[in-house]
Chains A and B, each alone.
Chain A
Amino acid sequence: AQSVAQPEDQVNVAEGNPLTVKCTYSVSGNPYLFWYVQYPNRGLQFLLKYITGDNLVKGSYGFEAEFNKSQTSFHLKKPSALVSDSALYFCAVRNSGYSTLTFGKGTMLLVSP
């Protein structure tokens, strides 16, 4: 079965500093990986996805993610954090044979001014 792990419940970073939100995955076959963001009292919004191709994927709001097959990781990154980036971030992997996704437990990102 596919699974993803987000090892940090919370990440704290100062505005202007680079940020990383970690995700590792376990899949059989080629991984289809996603990042979503959830702002307070809202649904999830798609940020970016990796299917094949370049290991560095660019997405919305200046976010990017680095796919590393040997480390089975798909970390979310941004060069310079904004206070408005404070939100809950979810990593997800597509389940083989279906259109369903398995989500991680989420990581709260707090960006301080």
Chain B
Amino acid sequence: DVKVTQSSRYLVKRTGEKVFLECVQDMDHENMFWYRQDPGLGLRLIYFSYDVKMKEKGDIPEGYSVSREKKERFSLILESASTNQTSMYLCASSKTSGRSSKNIQYFGAGTRLSVL
């Protein structure tokens, strides 16, 4: 089974702190994604990466950055956390090829971040 692991289930940080959210997948997937999930807004894409060291902005990249130094790891960085970044953060990965599995995204359990 595909496994996507997010390093923390719950995080509490203070306004202005630099925050790192880590995600690791074990299925050699090319694509990795970071979303935030808020009630009534569904999932919104923050950033995605289709290869090592490559990144693309999603729908809401402001206030975030990402890093992908190795294929299996995709990090989300909040440069200076703010209270409006309190949310559930979900990481996902997917393959680029393969007729049956292509484009299916596999999700981690999520990190619930509170910024005080």
Contact = CB atoms under 8 A, between A and B. Distances in A.
B43 A43 contact: no
Interface stretch (A22-30, A69-77, A93-101): A93-101
A100 B106 CA distance: 12
Contacts of A45: 107
A100 B109 contact: no
A50 B103 CA distance: 11
A99 B107 contact: no
Interface residues of B, number: 24
Interface in A58-113: 90, 94, 98-106
A42 B103 CA distance: 20
Contacts of A94: 103
A29 to B, nearest CB: 14
B107 A101 contact: no
A99 B103 contact: yes
B55 to A, nearest CB: 13
B42 A105 contact: yes
A44 interface: yes
A43 B42 contact: no
B94 A99 contact: yes
Nearest to B31: A99
B14 to A, nearest CB: 24
Interface in B3-44: 4, 31, 33, 40-43
A22 to B, nearest CB: 15
B31 A90 contact: no
A25 to B, nearest CB: 14
Contacts of B4: 43
Contacts of B105: 44, 46, 101
Contact of A105 (B31, B41, B96, B106): B41
A107 to B, nearest CB: 10
B28 to A, nearest CB: 15
B61 interface: no
B94 A44 contact: no
Contacts of A90: 42-43
